[in-house]
Amino acid sequence: MTSPLLDVAGVAISPDHYIGGRRVASAASFALQSPIDQRLLGHVGEASAGEVDAAIRAAQAAFPAWAGLSAAERQPMLNRFADEIGKRADDFCVVESNDAGVLLSRMRHGVVPRAMLNIRWFAEHALTLQDRTITTEQATHHVRHDPAGVVAIITPWNAPLMLATWKIGPALAAGNTVILKAPEWAPLTSSLLADCADAAGLPPGVFNLLQGTGANTGAALVSDPRLARISFTGSVPTAKWIAQAAGANLVPCSLELGGKSPFIVLEDADLDNAAATGALMYRNAGQVCLAGTRFLVHEKIVDRYVDALRGYVGQLKVGDPRDEATEVGPIVHPRQVERVMGFINRAVVGGAQLLWGGKPHPFGAQYVEPTMLANLNQTDEIVQNEVFGPVLTLQTFADDDEAITLANGTDFGLGGVCYGETAHATEVAGQVRTGFIWVNSFGIRDLAAPFGGIKRSGIGREGGDWSFEFFCDVKDVVVPAKPFRASFSHR
């Protein structure tokens, strides 16, 4: 028996899991509140160990037939999946904005088109994996990318639709079957994805959805030895726990974790351009792992740069994310608000200087003012740890060596930004220890390029061939160049 549908801004959403091509209700559930105004959106099922087992069994049963298809045979079905996302674009925009507080403008103009592309691009790119050979004098090596099996995908609350499709696309295109564990603070667009998979005609069990908390549903899922892969995006503490559970079963993990990325402004930077880009770090209330949150500015230009940045920040509209003009929306959950304000308050007590912000925003209970803190030491908590809110820090440097030392002076290494004369900025960027870094730009992404971090920012790379290297078992079929005959020598 299924549960009554939720009504979120006129969009009907199932609160149940999607297992083996049908909706499955749970005995237990948990409440969802909108970060915009704390109104109750409804109750969503929490998967028990039994429902986790059912999802794994459904994915296992579907795997042989799905894996047995060629990439060309899977492609039309995956393209229909993308089509169904496009048909419900408005629903995805409205629901994720209400559920996660994501900017409606970002959903409409960025996230939904990217979600469709994530499915289509990897379905197309999978075709290139079929004919790879390495020829030597001794043999021809036919390199195969075989589907690994049942894949668990666990996504965070800050970008539920985009990050789910970013992982689902290559996993399904490679021939795996998928169990998506939705983020507990923002699960509703994951449920819409299940509707789209069903409408596209994906065979039952190829795509499955579980909803629930990490402590219960997530724990039962990642500790199961029947999984072939686990792909996780989220926090470092959760990643350590997942890796430990998966390690007991030798299940490979891809871990894309947090960041404390530098935003470097060199003495020869275009200050106005760097300031305009700097203000973008507050978008989505700073709940973006890619954001450059540690501003490192040359001491000779810091006053002029701060004035320019202040001007752009002052133009940002804080408000309801459903208003397309809004640029800074709410923080996703009251616990996250408490965490963000805790970082700010402890920094101020410790001697940090508030250049602007630092208080709850009057628009609503889960809003925090765009904040900039200065007068900091490299060892300060707020410099070293990810805040994941609209909070930036400012430090100065005297030369390139000091800038690089400061940039590399945390345990994180996800991304970064470097503004300056192009050759100069490129040279400095090359010495920053990070998975990627933008020169005189921000947010440029290409699905063919690698994405991921170093140090505490993660293990592995996603995108292009790197996604398939993870989601596939790579096999070498060796055919000798001339007849082979075994020989034995006896002493």
Measured CA to CA, the distance from residue 150 to residue 215 in angstroms comes to 21
Q: Which residues of 189-213 are buried (b: 16+ CB within 10 A; e: fewer)?
A: bbbbbbbbbbebebbbbbbbbbbbe
Measured CA to CA, the distance from residue 173 to residue 124 in angstroms comes to 8
Measured CA to CA, the distance from residue 139 to residue 478 in angstroms comes to 6
- In sequence order, the 6+-apart residues with CB closer than 8 A to the CB of 258 are 235, 236, 289, 386, 388, 412, 414, 456, 457
Measured CA to CA, the distance from residue 76 to residue 78 in angstroms comes to 5
Q: If we measure between CA atoms, which residue out of 26, 67, 16 comes closest to residue 206?
A: 67
Indicate which residue of 289, 369, 462, 472 is catalytic. 289
What is the DSSP code string of 379-440?
TSHHHHS---SSEEEEEEESSHHHHHHHHT-SSEES--EEESSHHHHHHHHTTS-SS--EES
Q: What is the dihedral sign for C-alpha 101, 105, 106, 112?
A: positive
Query: Do the bridges between strand 29-33 and strand 353-356 make them parallel or antiparallel, or are there none, so unpaired?
Result: unpaired
User: Which position has the token pair 């409408």?
Assistant: 199
In the chain, how long is the greatest CA-to-CA distance? Answer: 88
Query: Do the bridges between strand 353-356 and strand 253-256 make them parallel or antiparallel, or are there none, so unpaired?
Result: unpaired
Measured CA to CA, the distance from residue 159 to residue 182 in angstroms comes to 11
137 tagged catalytic: no
Cβ burial of 228 (10 Å; 0-12, 13-18, 19+) is buried
253 tagged catalytic: no
Residue ranges of E strands in 182-310: 207-210, 229-233, 253-256, 261-265, 292-298
Q: What is the dihedral sign for C-alpha 319, 321, 326, 328?
A: positive
Indicate which residue of 51, 184, 256, 369 is catalytic. 256
Measured CA to CA, the distance from residue 460 to residue 257 in angstroms comes to 10
Residue 46 phi/psi, 5-degree rounding, is -110, 115
Measured CA to CA, the distance from residue 443 to residue 448 in angstroms comes to 15
User: Which position has the token pair 């009251």?
Assistant: 334
Cα 48 → chain centroid: 25
Q: What is the dihedral sign for C-alpha 103, 104, 105, 108?
A: positive
Beta bridge partners of 229: 151
Active site residues: 256, 289
